[in-house]
Amino acid sequence: MCDAGDTGNTEDVRISVLTSSVKVNLHDDATFPSTQTCSGLVTWTVSHKQHDILAQCDRISCQSKEGFYMSHDQYLKGDLSLTITDVDYTKRTWYTCECGGVDICAMSLGIEALSSSVWIKSNENLVLDLPISESVKVMYNSTGAAAPSSGQICTVAGSSLQCKDEYTQRASLISAVELRETAPSDSGVYTIWDTSNEEVIHTYTVTVDEVQPCPDESSTVTVLAVLLALMGAGLVAAGLVIVQLRKKISSSRKEPAHHRNFVLVPKPRSPRVALLPTNSTPAADTFDASRQIGLVPVLRENEVDVYFPIFERIAASLRWPNDL
């Protein structure tokens, strides 16, 4: 905070110029507080460009460039604060406040370092963004026992990238620093350091996971081929069995009736006893159909072609009347 007290004595003001710093998050607003009494013109400029006025106030009004602001009401109360809106990396510098052409305050604006956590798999590329055009260096702090030594690994100056020998073949510059073919040993904390302003721009906490080996594709194809071959052989065998069964069924239908073995199931009836004279056979005039009906085989629809020959043999052996 700038507070030089009474600004009436110009020489005293020059001797008592105050310096301070303000840090904010990227794209936030920043305010340089300055509580003093100034009856003259108050201006805010970039310290190394004092002819370029960013904001100014007098007893009548205030004027400001886009992105900068001073309140006239606050000025009349002795508040000479300057507000910078939407802070980005281009606004990081020193600013000077003057009262009547005399420096009364110098303020430094910085941006809080960004922090990111990154998880990638082995052999994937690690990309470290470079949000500023100034020269930077890339610092590495290992977290694994088998990791390389910690320290500075690369520097970037404009379009030039310089890295340690073990990183030269793996690193490239594409508006970001890209590290190719990462391994678990690359896990650690990577810091982008602004060498011009001596501050941290971005910190990356990186974890590289080991990739589990995938099954050999050729082995998988071989197993699938064997399974398909076995399935095909099974289908062929099943087809042959079906064909053989159909041939047997077809040939059995074509055999003569007397070559087949049939079991005729008599229709269940109540037990009956027929008493006939010894060495005698039923005659036509004494034929009793109700007693002989139990000897007649059951007629089935699928055995019609063999039923009648059997029926005729039974009738002939029992000497049933022909006119029955």
> Of the residues 95, 111, 127, which one is the last residue of a structural domain?
111
Average pLDDT over residues 285-297: 68
Highest mean pLDDT among 116-130, 226-240, 287-301: 116-130
Same domain assignment for residues 151 and 134: yes
Mean pLDDT of the chain: 80
Q: What is the pLDDT of residue 254?
A: 57
Same domain assignment for residues 148 and 87: no
**Helix (H) or strand (E) run with residue 217 in it:** helix 217-254
Q: Could you list the residue range(s) of the whole structural domain that residue 126 is in?
A: 114-209
Q: What is the pLDDT of residue 228?
A: 84
Does residue 300 have a pLDDT over 50? yes
Report if residue 230 sits inside a domain: no
> What are 56-76's pLDDT values in tens digits?
999 999 999 999 999 999 999
CA distance 309 to 92: 119
Average pLDDT over residues 94-115: 93
Same domain assignment for residues 149 and 174: yes
Same domain assignment for residues 130 and 60: no
Same domain assignment for residues 105 and 165: no
> Minimum mean pLDDT among 25-29, 169-173, 243-247: which range?
243-247
Split into its structural domains, the chain has a count of 3
> What are 270-283's pLDDT values in tens digits?
444 344 444 444 44
Same domain assignment for residues 100 and 189: no
Six-digit token string for 45: 């400029």
Does residue 13 have a pLDDT over 50? no
Does residue 297 have a pLDDT over 60? yes
Report if residue 235 sits inside a domain: no
CA distance 175 to 228: 52
CA distance 208 to 126: 9
Write out the DSSP string of 67-101.
TEE--HHHHHTTB--EEE-S--GGG-SEEEEEETT
Cα–Cα distances in angstroms (integers) from residue 323 to residues 296, 308, 311, in the given order: 17, 16, 15
Q: Helices then strands (H, E): number in the chain?
A: 6, 18
**More confident: 181 or 213:** 181
CATH code (residue 128): 2.60.40.10
Report helix, strand or coil for 251: helix
Same domain assignment for residues 30 and 97: yes
Same domain assignment for residues 136 and 97: no
Same domain assignment for residues 105 and 121: no
> What are 188-206's pLDDT values in tens digits?
999 999 998 889 999 999 9
Same domain assignment for residues 84 and 141: no
Same domain assignment for residues 36 and 74: yes
Contact, 195 vs 136, CB < 8 A?
yes
> Of the residues 88, 111, 134, which one is the last residue of a structural domain?
111
Highest mean pLDDT among 173-182, 198-207, 211-220: 198-207
Report if residue 221 sits inside a domain: no
Report if residue 324 sits inside a domain: no
Same domain assignment for residues 100 and 118: no
